[in-house]
Amino acid sequence: MWASLAEQVRLQFETWGLPEWSFSLANSLFKALVILHFILLSVLFLVWLERKVCARFQNRLGPMRVGRPHGWLQTLADVLKLLVKEDIIPESADRWLFRLAPVLVFVPSMMLFVVIPFGPGMAVYSLDVGLLYLVAVTSISVLGLIMAGWGSNNKWSVLAAMRTAAEVITYEVPLALAVLGVAMLAGSLNLERIVEAQAGGRWFILVQPLGFVVYLIAMTAELRRTPFDLSEAESELVAGYNVEYSAMRWSFFMLAEFGALVGFSGVAVTLYLGGWHGPWLPPVAWFLLKTFGLILFIMWVRWTLPRIRIDQLMDLGWKFLIPVALVNIAVTGVYLVVM
């Protein structure tokens, strides 16, 4: 349906006598806008949801006063506040790094959405090396985080940046290894092919439970969410790599964090939970339902577990997740050969 619609628009462009590239440009711009709005709207919703869920876990009510019922306009009010707040750049900061960092953190989390198939044929770009692309893109954001930490010229933010770097680089490895098992089973790196391989309830979580657990843990660490939130441990590091940021620059970090949360959950759903497959409801609805269900689970974990120490973090990554992921690959390989 989408393809035919795009084709019609392309023909219309031709009858207007516009060059070929103008259609490509309009097409990409339109898709980028759709993705951007999807991210912004889900972040708007998720920040509210996070506060609500956290409150209910702690027998509180959470935001109640901005917008009835249940303060649903709270995040919108927060955004308005952030927009009009003063943008402060510390005198001793490295101005270039300081300004560039929020963007560099946000862009990779948006780039995740390029290959995620929301429904049949509904990925922005059905990349044949989609999985490789994902693994590559997710590791860019750590650069932005280090830039933010270093550029702020603040000891807390540098400490946080070093922790972030250690954490993200460590968990990049098991993440890629876990994903490899799925690629072996599906026989493709294209995310749409992977979802198609899970048709009829043959979700990869059933054959790759170990891979799913490793992916889930590594993903939580990549997102720097509790219990792996060492990089923004409020009680130790004031706030983390973004101590010196205020107003919209700060909110870009927030946006990137929650955007990546949606992105990583979307990838997890695509790889392990059958993507858009499901009865009765339209494919897109199933995809979103599963994604937000997984996000709820991650929030649940966040408000249950305490933060772990940096040495435990390294232990878990190198000594547990990587061996387990390797075993998973070996078992998958044997399974493929034998079957």
To 5 degrees, how large is the angle CA 337–CA 324–CA 267? 85
Q: Report if residue 57 touches other proteins, rule: CB under 8 A.
A: yes
Q: Report if residue 239 touches other proteins, rule: CB under 8 A.
A: no
Q: Which of 303, 307, 310, 331 binds other proteins (CB under 8 A)?
A: 303
Rounded (10°) angle between helices 247-272 and 141-151: 160
Q: Which of 19, 58, 125, 335 binds other proteins (CB under 8 A)?
A: 58
Q: Report if residue 56 touches other proteins, rule: CB under 8 A.
A: yes
| Amino acid sitting at position 149 | G
**Cis check: omega of the bond before 227, within 30 degrees of 0:** yes
Q: What is the per-residue binding string for other proteins in 109-148, x denoting contact by CB under 8 A?
A: ----------------------------------------
| Amino acid sitting at position 87 | D
Rounded (10°) angle between helices 130-138 and 247-272: 150
**Residue span binding other proteins (CB under 8 A) among the ranges 5-13, 79-87, 184-192, 297-305:** 297-305
Burial 315-336 (b: 16+ CB within 10 A, else e): ebbeeebbebbeebbeebeeee
Q: Report if residue 61 touches other proteins, rule: CB under 8 A.
A: yes
Q: Which of 301, 307, 310, 318 binds other proteins (CB under 8 A)?
A: 301
User: Least distance (Å) from other proteins to the CB of residue 303?
Assistant: 6
Give the nearer residue to other proteins in terms of CB position, either 31 or 51. Answer: 51
Q: Which of 9, 26, 40, 64 binds other proteins (CB under 8 A)?
A: 64
User: Least distance (Å) from other proteins to the CB of residue 332?
Assistant: 20
Give the nearer residue to other proteins in terms of CB position, either 239 or 331. Answer: 331
Task: Measure the CA–CA gap between 173 and 101, rounded to whole angstroms.
Answer: 24
**Residue span binding other proteins (CB under 8 A) among the ranges 53-61, 76-84, 116-124, 280-288:** 53-61
For residue 6, what is the enclosing H or E element?
helix 2-15
Give the nearer residue to other proteins in terms of CB position, either 303 or 318. Answer: 303
Task: Measure the CA–CA gap between 247 and 244, rounded to whole angstroms.
Answer: 10
User: Least distance (Å) from other proteins to the CB of residue 300?
Assistant: 6
**Residue span binding other proteins (CB under 8 A) among the ranges 58-66, 177-185, 233-241, 284-292:** 58-66
Q: Report if residue 318 touches other proteins, rule: CB under 8 A.
A: no
Q: Report if residue 314 touches other proteins, rule: CB under 8 A.
A: no
Q: What is the per-residue binding string for other proteins in 205-234, x denoting contact by CB under 8 A?
A: ------------------------------
Q: How far is CA 73 from CA 67, 77, 130, 152, in A?
A: 5, 6, 36, 32
3-class DSSP string for 31-76:
HHHHHHHHHHHHHHHHHHHHHHHHHHHCCCCCCCCCCCCCCCCHHH
Number of residues that bind other proteins (CB under 8 A): 15
Among 105, 67, 91, 132, smallest CA distance to 240 is for 105
Q: Report if residue 30 touches other proteins, rule: CB under 8 A.
A: no
User: Least distance (Å) from other proteins to the CB of residue 59?
Assistant: 5
Give the nearer residue to other proteins in terms of CB position, either 53 or 191. Answer: 53
**Residue span binding other proteins (CB under 8 A) among the ranges 162-170, 248-256, 264-272, 296-304:** 296-304
What DSSP string runs through 302-328? HTTSPPPPHHHHHIIIIIIIHHHHHHH
User: Least distance (Å) from other proteins to the CB of residue 240?
Assistant: 24
Helices (H), 112-225: 130-138, 141-151, 155-186, 191-196, 204-207, 209-222
Task: Measure the CA–CA gap between 296 and 311, rounded to whole angstroms.
Answer: 28
Residue ranges in contact with other proteins by CB under 8 A: 53, 55-61, 64, 300-301, 303-305, 320
